[in-house]
């Protein structure tokens, strides 16, 4: 009884302290609002940003896009991060290899999103005046989502706590999440460049076949399509111009005349 009374008295003297906001966000306890937030800004948010992107990778406001050269790589990297987050939210903590791999991939995604948010911050603040800048602030929230889940993955209970085993798992995962989008992006770029070259210099049957071949990759085609615009402006025959216009629309989904006006603004 004496011991019990001592414990009760200690609890009265030292009441349980409530965790702060940020400690709760990155703590081990997962709440329903956090899951909703993770789905909204870790999965749906990036998809909506790419779909309604006005200036970053697709030109539409005040000229061409800001960063067309890295469009393919960012799309692939972001897609990989969204898939990893989706899998982690469904499976949560599992075996050690899965936890370390998920943690490494998601933390890299979080750092990338925060860096992207900082780069886009000046444009986002300017865009707030016309109602589209809020999209540029989404990477900050997405970065928090990825970092939170990555930290939780790395903090998951594990039978082997050696640094070597963790590095041996996290390093290959980091290389994959960085290297895969780079190499796959280069392959897509080469395929798009080859098809565009065939459209610009080939006859009608070969040009149409090339446009049809690269059509499924329209969301990954970037600055390569500008060669078609240049060829369209230089062409004098109406049939040739119509062919280039049709090929451009099949590849990008956009009207080449609209693209010309944007480039000339």
* H/E segment holding residue 82: helix 71-91
CB-based contact 107:151 (threshold 8 Å):
yes
Count the Cβ atoms, other than its own, within 10 Å of residue 127.
Answer: 19
Q: What is the pLDDT of residue 106?
A: 94
Mean pLDDT by 10 residues, the chain (265 residues): 42 50 76 92 91 75 72 90 93 79 92 92 76 76 94 80 72 83 87 89 89 83 84 89 90 82 69
Considering Cα of 70, then 168, then 101, then 108, what sign does the dihedral take? negative
The residues near 45 (Cβ < 8 Å, ≥ 6 apart) are 138, 141, 142
Contact (Cβ atoms closer than 8 angstroms) between residue 48 and residue 42: no
The predicted pLDDT at position 45 comes to: 92
Please identify which residue in the block is written with the tokens 């990893």. Answer: 84
Measured CA to CA, the distance from residue 72 to residue 68 in angstroms comes to 8
Cβ count within 10 A of residue 179: 11
Q: Over the stretch 68-106, which tens digit does the pLDDT of each residue have?
A: 778 888 999 999 999 999 999 998 777 777 888 888 999
Extents of the domains making up the chain: 31-159, 174-265
For residue 176, the model assigns a pLDDT of 81
What is the SS3 assignment for 158? coil
Nearest to 57 by CA among 222, 259, 229: 222
* pLDDT value, residue 125: 80
Which of 221, 193, 223, 198 lies closest to 208 in space, CA to CA? 198
CA triplet 26, 134, 262: central angle to 5 degrees? 135
Q: How confident is the model at residue 34, as a pLDDT? A: 92
Torsion of CA 153, 156, 158, 162, to 10 degrees: 60
CB atoms within 10 A of CB 188: 20
* Distance separating alpha carbons of residues 265 and 261, to the nearest angstrom: 6
Task: Look up the pTM and report it.
Answer: 0.75
168 torsion bin: left (phi>0), alpha (psi -120 to 50), beta (else): alpha
Digit-coded pLDDT (tens) for 173-211: 788 888 888 888 888 888 888 888 999 888 889 889 988
Residue length of the chain: 265
């Amino acid at each position: 009884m004496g011991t019990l009374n001592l414990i009760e008295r200690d609890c009265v003297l030292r009441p349980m302290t409530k965790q702060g906001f940020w400690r709760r966000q990155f703590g081990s306890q997962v709440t329903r609002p956090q899951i909703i937030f993770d789905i909204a800004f870790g999965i749906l948010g990036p998809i909506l940003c790419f779909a309604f992107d006005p200036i970053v990778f697709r030109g539409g406001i005040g000229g061409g896009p800001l960063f067309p050269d890295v469009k393919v790589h960012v799309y692939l990297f972001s897609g990989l991060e969204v898939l990893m987050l989706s899998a982690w939210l469904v499976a949560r903590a599992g075996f050690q290899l899965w936890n370390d791999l998920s943690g490494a991939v998601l933390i890299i995604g979080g750092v990338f999103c925060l860096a992207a948010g900082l780069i886009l911050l000046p444009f986002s603040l300017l865009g707030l005046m016309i109602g589209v800048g809020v999209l540029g602030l989404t990477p900050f929230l997405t970065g928090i989502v990825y970092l939170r889940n990555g930290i939780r993955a790395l903090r998951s209970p594990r039978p082997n706590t050696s640094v070597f085993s963790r590095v041996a798992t996290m390093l290959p995962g980091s290389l994959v999440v960085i290297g895969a989008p780079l190499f796959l992006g280069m392959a897509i770029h080469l395929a798009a460049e080859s098809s565009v070259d065939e459209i610009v210099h080939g006859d009608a049957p070969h040009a149409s076949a090339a446009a049809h071949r690269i059509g499924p990759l329209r969301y990954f085609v970037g600055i390569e399509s500008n060669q078609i615009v240049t060829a369209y402006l230089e062409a004098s025959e109406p049939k040739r111009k119509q062919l280039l216009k049709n090929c451009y629309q099949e590849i990008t989904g956009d009207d080449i005349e609209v693209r010309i006006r944007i480039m000339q603004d």
